[in-house]
Structure 1
Amino acid sequence: MLKKYALFLFIAAAFLCCKKSAKVDEVIPVTPVVTVDSAVLTSVKIEAKNNVGKITTDITCTIANGEITAVVPDYKVGKKFALTYAVKNKGTNIKNGDTLQVSGVTVTDFTKPVTLSVISKSGVTNTYTVKIKVFTGLPILYITSASAIVSKEVYVKGKVVIDANQAYPQDVTSMTMQIRGHGNSTWTLSAFLKKPYRVKFDSKISMLGMTAAKNWVLLANYDDKTLMRNRIAMLLARRLGSDWAPDSRFVEVVLNGDFVGNYLLTPQVEVNKGRVDINELTDKNVTDADNTGGYLLELDQKRDADVWFNSNKGYPFAVKSPDVPTAKQLAYIKKYIQDTEDAIYAANFTDPVNGYQKYLNSDSFVNWYLTNEIVQNEDARLFSSIFYYKDRNGKLGMGPVWDFDLSGGNIDYTVAKNPTGIWFIRDDGWFLRLAQDPAFIIKVRNRWAAIKDKEVKQIFTDIDQTAADLKLSQQKNFERWPILNTYVWPNAVVLGSYDKEVAYYKDFLQQRINWMDANMSSW
């Protein structure tokens, strides 16, 4: 029995040993590593050694979402560069159309966006769009004048070349033009070293995607150290539907080879399609029906226009269009303004049929009013740049809004320096009387309720985005005009840095908006 049991154990042990040995000798299949073919750029650079005389430091491009972008810090170097490419897999070719791009060697013109085809060894293809900007990334206007620009009345002949810097469409990039000074205190005050300009083309030209026209303005924003008060207010006005609120673009200006700073390019206030788009009067409009419009007027205390008149309340109205009204046209618009004013101050002024609403478009007045009240615009309180229009067979409207460099707390000599405590625009002129009409009061309150949580709050997003867009531009501007530590009339504060100026502006507007909201029930 014991012999049988021992034999069983021996056989079992032998079986286990054989099985273990088999496991050791078993060949385990290895999964082969497959290299996935791809057409991917891992880095793109503009290297100084391959672009001698154009850059002194290597520039690493950003690659994101199929776009390759870079900003070259010098506006004088053009946009022809040799790019250095790194690819994921060997054997990958890069082509611009049919032209092979040899890394670090092939010079390509990047004036416009360039589409590159990246082709792997096996034929896998990927595409990238290359956008290379220069200087600050903003569009650049290269202006050459035949002589010095010394007058805001006399034009000087010249030429402008536009580098849209791939930010906006610009079909025509070089054109002849005329240029002169622009503005009042911004042109005449010797302390304002950076001057604004007005540009006039021979024919209508679209500038950076804006509606084509002959006349354009370059706002210097010298005393506004945020550089953005005009832009922010115009954006607000456009969102509120204020009549004919201007479009605008930030640009860099190089004048006769000299970089003169960051400017805001905007349409000139004029009767034109896409601007104040009303019927344009000429001396050929002779009938009574024709002469009901259109008119563009400016309330302007300077009283220096070619054609202007006073209302009985002493408000000076300049006739901006038509340029030279006929005697009949001038008589018509003078009477219409006076009839409007008389109706505003009449005993029955609240009558919806025979009161002031017979003559003016109250919705237009409300949108213009709120834009200027929110930013507390000094010039909009019966001084200048207060525009009115009247189209043919239409009522008197307000617009476009204009001139905001003395808004948002950028003033030290009136109550406008305080963000709270006063309805600044309401408490003067026609608005003071309109604010006595319950129907107009309701319009203002209802409009405020409709805009305060979206359109008004958007102001702060606009400011942050604009500050980001101007990050490089403001640095170059204040290198050219080092005034951040200097008082420029009529600054309320001198804070020493761009970021602090922007923060002050935001804080002023936040206080202003909070105060308006808290007090709107008593408007």
Structure 2
Amino acid sequence: MLCYLRFLTYASCVFGFSVYGQVDFTSSNLPILVIDTHGQAILDDPKITADLGIIDNGPGQRNNMSDAFHGYVGKIGIELRGSTSQDFPKKPYGLELRDDAGEGVSASLLGMPAEEDWALVATYNDKSLLRDALAYKLGRDLGRYAARTRFCELVMKKDVVIEGVPAKENVYMGIYMLTEKIKRDKNRVDISKLDPEEISGDDLTGGYILKIDKYTGDSGTGFSSQIAPPNRSGNQSISFQYEYPEHDEIVSEQRQYIQTFIRNFETTLNGSTYQDETNGYAKYIDVNSFVDFLIINELSKNVDGYRLSTFMYKDKDSNGGKMVMGPVWDFNLAFGNADYCQGAPVSGWMYNFNSVCGDDGFLIPFWWKRLLADPNFRERLSLRWAELRAGVFSTSSIHRYIDSVANVLDDEAVGRNFTKWPVLGVKIWPNFYVGATYQQEVDWLKDWVRQRTSWLDANMPSVVTAIGDEAREKSFSLSAYPNPFTSELTLEYTVRNPCQVTLELFNSLGQRVALIEQDHVTPGTHLAVFNPAGMGAGVYYFKAGTSQDHSTVIRRIIKRHD
């Protein structure tokens, strides 16, 4: 059968979008994904069977529509994905690689580890095109799993008839981000497999993946928290969905186990002894993962953070067994891109979302404010932030990554994307900033990151009681001024009882760089002058302790260039 190929932009209700700008697409510096649905409509659920071919000639090589498929060629199941994003004309898709019999099959796509489930992210209302990629990169910089990503250009084939002869038209769809879907896998969420027959003992204790999110598609049923979210205006509750095992595969014993685990954790966290190191909340959760999850959601000021697209997982007790927050997911409205619920200003804490938008249908669990009331959690948060800011979360490091992605996308591919979807200079819900050019969008994002990190530097919790409670803290107080400082720092501390005072200075890597010990300190207020000779600019921590009641106080200080 003779087929004609025509290179033009075409739109149809079959694909669920309207006619936008036309693009004469023949080649790209990005990989090209070509999908043929054979005239079928792509639905939210179930997936339809289609064909996928990938043209990827390797780094630095040009990819032409006339080239043979060799990055991948085969069957896929494809469906619409996302919630609000489905309403945009540029649709996001979920992909499942399949064999000719329709069974799932794993394969490596664009150099990422082999798996069968993938997502094509449209980034329609993120005109920088890179907020999700940035968040996932920062997630990996935390030393945790976050989805790997590759940018590509997408073409859909449309069945047509030209002069009585069946033909295919190539429909240019724009720049997409191919990314791993969150899934239990040795290269993704690396937890134990949980089979239906594992219903007792250690077998029953993992692995599980849960999420807090909207119900879409075939997400099925889950269970609700027994503790209401704070500051709710109505009867809103927190709902957990079964991500793994899926809702139609998890058996009743497993449902009961993970529900009981979450409820025991929440009851403990909400109790009067929740800070107990042995039987408190830390018995149930990987505390450091909660610290990291908070940091990335606050750095990005993710308006969906903690309440939507929020994943957590638990392995078997024999493999640790504590609940881990993450992986991070869905940050297209983060980094100042939302004009509601204080999502755009560089100041403020997103964990206070309920206080700002308590009438929203999806609120934040009580967990985060409760954790931040614990001095030990605040100490971990402060030290972790300082460590990250000295390295992978430095403003310059984040800016370099943003520039590197923008350079990969380049003017040519970006130009095609915004010809197809002419949204530059147009407010698309819920944009706060509307740039006239792509470069303006990128520059604004970089400046927002600079201002946001500076605000966090100045407002990250800096006073904690590492040992003892708040009553003990009152028996010993410490202040440091001026802060920030350049040449000389004065430490002022007050003690109620005779004691020995130890003052230690740590850099952001946790290394001690100075020690001051003062014996036979009498009750009252005392001064110690610190001259930071040879000390580089950056964030430091003074840790002050007394021998009298073993209380410890930490102050964060900032050293500026001389």
Question: TM-score scaled to structure 2, two decimals?
Answer: 0.67
Tell me if the contact between 1:291 and 1:332 (Cα under 8 Å) persists in the aligned partners.
Answer: yes
Offset at residue 195 of structure 1 (A) = 0.4
Q: Which runs of 5+ in 2 are unaligned?
A: 1-22, 62-68, 99-104, 158-169, 228-236, 354-363, 464-562
Tell me if the contact between 1:180 and 1:199 (Cα under 8 Å) persists in the aligned partners.
Answer: yes
Q: Which amino acid aligns with 1:268?
A: K
Q: Which residue of 2 aligns with 1:319?
A: 242
Alignment of 1:35-434 (within 5 A): 76=26, 134-135=27-28, 137-167=29-59, 173-187=72-86, 189=87, 192-202=88-98, 203-242=105-144, 244-256=145-157, 257-302=170-215, 305-313=219-227, 314-323=237-246, 324-382=249-307, 384-393=308-317, 394-420=321-347, 422-425=348-351, 428=364, 429-434=366-371
Give distance in 1, aligned partners of 2:393 and 2:286: 23
Give distance in 2, aligned partners of 1:156 and 1:485: 36
Offset at residue 301 of structure 1 (A) = 4.3
Which of residues 387, 390, 398 is equivalent to 1:450? Answer: 387
Give distance in 2, aligned partners of 1:485 and 1:172: 35
Give distance in 2, aligned partners of 1:259 and 1:462: 27
- 1:338-365 CA distance string (max 9 Å, x none): 0111111110111010000000000111
Q: Which residue of 2 aligns with 1:514?
A: 454
- 1:165-222 CA distance string (max 9 Å, x none): 31399975211111110100001x2xx1100001101200111111111110000000
Give distance in 1, aligned partners of 2:71 and 2:173: 23
SS of the counterpart of 1:373?
helix
Q: Which residue of 2 aligns with 1:85?
A: none
SS of the counterpart of 2:373?
coil
Which of residues 434, 443, 461 is equivalent to 2:400? Answer: 461
Alignment of 1:479-518 (within 5 A): 479-518=419-458
Offset at residue 302 of structure 1 (A) = 3.9
Give distance in 1, aligned partners of 2:252 and 2:278: 30
Give distance in 2, aligned partners of 1:241 and 1:248: 16
Q: Which amino acid aligns with 1:378?
A: V
Tell me if the contact between 1:303 and 1:316 (Cα under 8 Å) persists in the aligned partners.
Answer: no
Give distance in 2, aligned partners of 1:241 and 1:158: 36
Give distance in 2, aligned partners of 1:466 and 1:373: 22
Question: TM-score scaled to structure 1, two decimals?
Answer: 0.71
Tell me if the contact between 1:226 and 1:501 (Cα under 8 Å) persists in the aligned partners.
Answer: yes
- 1:131-160 CA distance string (max 9 Å, x none): xxx32x011101111233341112111111
Q: Which runs of 5+ in 1 are unaligned?
A: 1-72, 77-133
Higher helix share: 1
Give distance in 2, aligned partners of 1:168 and 1:336: 50
For residues 213 and 184 of structure 1, do their structure 2 counterparts lie closer, same or farther at Cα, with a shift above 3 Å needed? Answer: same
Q: Which residue of 1 aligns with 2:475?
A: none
Q: Which amino acid aligns with 1:424?
A: M
Offset at residue 75 of structure 1 (A) = 5.2
SS of the counterpart of 1:265?
strand
Q: Which has the bigger relative contact order, CA under 8 A and spacing at least 6?
A: 2
Give distance in 1, aligned partners of 2:71 and 2:131: 29
Offset at residue 246 of structure 1 (A) = 0.9
Give distance in 2, aligned partners of 1:302 and 1:182: 12
SS of the counterpart of 1:331?
helix
Offset at residue 291 of structure 1 (A) = 0.9
Give distance in 2, aligned partners of 1:149 and 1:248: 26
Aligned residues: 390
Tell me if the contact between 1:147 and 1:156 (Cα under 8 Å) persists in the aligned partners.
Answer: no
Offset at residue 389 of structure 1 (A) = 0.1
Q: Which amino acid aligns with 1:312?
A: Q
Alignment root-mean-square deviation, CA: 2.2
SS of the counterpart of 2:112?
coil
Offset at residue 255 of structure 1 (A) = 1.0
